[in-house]
Amino acid sequence: MVSRGNWGGRLGFILAAAGSAIGLGNIWKFPYITGIHGGGAFVLVYLVCILIVGLPIMMAEIYFGKMTQKSPVGAFEHFETESKGFFHYHRAGKAMKPFYLVGWLGVISAILVLSFYSVVAGWAWHYLYLSFSGFSGTDAEVTSLFGKLYVNPYLQLGWHTLMMGITVWIISKGVSKGIEKASKILMPILFIILLGLMFYALTLSGGMKAVKFMFYPDFSKIDAEGIIQALGHSFFTLSLGMGAMITYGSYLKEDVNIVKSSIIISILDTIIALVAGVMIFSIVFSYGLKAASGPSLIFKTLPVIFAKMPGGQIVAILFFILLIFAALTSAISLLEVAVSYFVDEKNWTRKKATIILGFFIYLLGILSAVSSLKIMNESYLDFFDNITTKYFLPVGGLLTILVFAYGIDHKSKMEELGFKSWVYFLFNWTIRIITPALLIFIILNKMGLFKI
């Protein structure tokens, strides 16, 4: 049996898990979807989703990992129950429910997500490189930089190679010497840069307008599409639905409280998204630009402003370092999901698993880096992004919460979570009915089967 590794301490686990959660989702995606959906009301819906969808699934995932000390496939297999009924398979002469498939879905999702996540993180590397010589020229010239990068496969591949190389290097060092150490260095720097940028941005003329935009709910601006986006994003941002928290939870020793840790990780993730939003909108409003510019908000809109604002070059450098650090601590958690499966179930050494999987994911990422390649009329990047965030992750999250709610007895859950009985009562009905219902609602909606 190859040794799996453990966290050195509670802080290491919290920083690594927060590092997984805090990523491109917080600094790139959350601000732009908040911009598109009109601000405050969307933020409020998002916070409710974190509470009733994200938090329970986070607790379930950390529970599965901590209790079984196994990667997602092994963890789900551990809880398989004997039952014939609909959909079963035979193991050692018994009819079992194939829960392990949920773990498999997680491993496949992690591989697909990392393949394009690394390419998008590569854009941040390119923009950091551009920031060193400073953004200058007309608005159209600065905006066109993104198009030039997007159509240049060699450039995109180069940055993708660098990003995957660093990810593989950290993971090959192991749980405490690789993931934990990297998180302990990168996360505090990330917090400091973000706070510094936020205070600077608030001194600009658009600061108060940004705070009002983010925290003053105008319900006439939120529609069904916004609610679905908020729901879906609430668990992407917390790294749920693909076993990342199961994997990180599996390296925990006994002494960590699942409920407290889940709350701390979710609060950190939420604060970072809100701070990133306030910071970005302060800058955008101060220069009279639009909040609703979509995915290009940070790669086109912000550089136009960096070219104009006093100290813009330093702000740009810090901003893209922030983005890269956030992406890196998430990318390592994605690779770890896949690596832990091969280490646990196939007895591969960590080095072998890391190199083979890292290389495979790197090759898969080439499809996303070469933007002229298309599948079903869209780029591979959009295709992989869509199938994972629209289908695989919600389905993974749904199955995880169902196994947790219905497959594990009350006594074990109560003991491990340590809830008072009335809190457990509320929690139990939330995870049995409300969380699954909301997830089913997202999945059906994305499939076009249910419209509101």
Which residues sit at the interface with ligand PFF, rule CB under 6 A? 20-21, 23-26, 110, 236-237, 239, 242, 244, 330, 333-334
Minimum gap (Å) between residue 377 Cβ and ligand PFF: 26
Minimum gap (Å) between residue 273 Cβ and ligand PFF: 8
CA-closest candidate to residue 244, choices 48, 62, 102: 62
> Please, which residues bridge with residue 96 across strands?
82, 89
CA-closest candidate to residue 15, choices 325, 364, 435: 325
Whose CB is nearest to ligand PFF?
Answer: 25
Comparing CB distances to ligand PFF, the nearer of 25 and 35 is 25
Comparing CB distances to ligand PFF, the nearer of 242 and 322 is 242
Comparing CB distances to ligand PFF, the nearer of 316 and 334 is 334
Residues 202, 14: contact at Cβ < 8 Å? no
Minimum gap (Å) between residue 23 Cβ and ligand PFF: 2
CA-closest candidate to residue 244, choices 400, 17, 8: 17
Comparing CB distances to ligand PFF, the nearer of 26 and 68 is 26
Minimum gap (Å) between residue 118 Cβ and ligand PFF: 12
Residue 413 structure tokens: 């859950």
Residues 387, 443: contact at Cβ < 8 Å? no
Minimum gap (Å) between residue 109 Cβ and ligand PFF: 8
Minimum gap (Å) between residue 420 Cβ and ligand PFF: 31
Helix (H) or strand (E) holding 64: helix 55-68
Comparing CB distances to ligand PFF, the nearer of 67 and 110 is 110
What counts of helices (H) and strands (E) characterise the chain?
22, 4
| Cα–Cα distance, 69 to 256 (Å, whole number) | 13
Instruction: Enter the DSSP assignment of 82.
Output: B
Minimum gap (Å) between residue 110 Cβ and ligand PFF: 6
| Cα–Cα distance, 217 to 62 (Å, whole number) | 33
Rg (CA), the chain: 22
| Cα–Cα distance, 449 to 183 (Å, whole number) | 41
Residue 35 structure tokens: 């911009």
Alpha-carbon dihedral sign for residues 400, 404, 408, 412 = positive
Comparing CB distances to ligand PFF, the nearer of 27 and 317 is 27
Question: Which residue is associated with the tokens 């959009």?
Answer: 382
| Cα–Cα distance, 292 to 44 (Å, whole number) | 18
Comparing CB distances to ligand PFF, the nearer of 240 and 289 is 240
Q: How many CB atoms lie within 10 A of CB 449?
A: 8
Please give the backbone phi and psi of residue 176, each rounded to the nearest 5 degrees, phi first. -85, -35
| Cα–Cα distance, 267 to 248 (Å, whole number) | 18
Residues 20, 61: contact at Cβ < 8 Å? no
| Cα–Cα distance, 23 to 409 (Å, whole number) | 34
Comparing CB distances to ligand PFF, the nearer of 237 and 368 is 237
| Cα–Cα distance, 47 to 49 (Å, whole number) | 5
Minimum gap (Å) between residue 303 Cβ and ligand PFF: 21
Comparing CB distances to ligand PFF, the nearer of 27 and 201 is 27
Comparing CB distances to ligand PFF, the nearer of 286 and 329 is 329
Residue 306 structure tokens: 């960096």
Minimum gap (Å) between residue 82 Cβ and ligand PFF: 31
Minimum gap (Å) between residue 254 Cβ and ligand PFF: 24
Comparing CB distances to ligand PFF, the nearer of 223 and 382 is 382
Give me the amino acid identity at 211: V
Minimum gap (Å) between residue 292 Cβ and ligand PFF: 21
